């Protein structure tokens, strides 16, 4: 385990509307406001998206097991924003519920909002970290600099 301390910087309260792109919008916010490190919480609705529910096996590099949302779901979750080179990367895990069914996973593509989605982003200051390609997994993993 490794850790660093950080302090809370700015706090952004973001309202996404029906049809907005959650992941794209968070990247846009990070670029526009130069948010280099952050943690965020999400609550609201999502109607489309592709998410990973784990690797197919425990072998490296992991082969993702994909699932898709194709209709409205309640969503609650959290994530981080750290940069890889000159691009902010969003790492978001959420629970997606519809009727009596709940799915959970890492949302990675096609994140289309249903009705409204609220996000509170807490900027982290005083931390030097970024996402760096990991040779074993092939994924951009968090690394302290």
Neighbours of 26 (CB within 10 A): 26
Neighbours of 33 (CB within 10 A): 14
Q: How confident is the model at residue 69 (pLDDT cuts 50, 70, 90)?
A: very high
Q: Could you tell me which residues are beta bridge partners of residue 38?
A: 81, 123
Cβ neighbours of residue 60 closer than 8 Å, sequence gap 6 or more: 136, 137
Looking up tokens 């489309």 gives: 48
Exposure class string for 89-113: b at 16+ Cβ within 10 A, else e: bbbbebebeeeeeeeebbbbebbbb
Tens digits of residue pLDDT in 13-31: 999 999 999 999 999 999 9
Domain locations along the chain: 8-129
Average pLDDT value for residue range 118-128? 98
Whole-number Cα distances in Å, 69 to 42, 45, 144: 17, 11, 34
Exposure class string for 119-143: b at 16+ Cβ within 10 A, else e: bebbbbeeeebbbbeeeeeeebebe
Q: What is the pLDDT of residue 41?
A: 98
pTM, to two decimals = 0.95
- As a CATH number, domain 8-129 is 3.30.1330.80
């Amino acid at each position: 385990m490794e850790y660093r301390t950080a302090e809370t910087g700015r706090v952004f309260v973001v309202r996404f509307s029906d049809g907005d792109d959650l992941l794209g919008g968070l990247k846009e916010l990070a670029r526009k406001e130069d948010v280099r490190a952050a943690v965020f919480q999400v609550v609201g609705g999502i109607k489309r998206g592709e998410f990973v529910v784990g690797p197919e096996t425990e072998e490296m590099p992991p082969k993702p097991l994909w699932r898709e949302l194709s209709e409205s779901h309640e969503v609650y979750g959290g994530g981080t924003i750290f940069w890889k080179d000159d691009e902010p990367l969003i790492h978001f895990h959420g629970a997606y519920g519809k009727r009596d069914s709940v799915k959970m996973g890492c949302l990675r593509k096609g994140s289309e909002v249903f009705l409204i989605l609220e996000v509170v982003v807490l900027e982290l200051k005083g931390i030097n970290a970024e996402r760096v390609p990991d040779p074993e997994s092939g994924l951009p993993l968090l690394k302290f600099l």
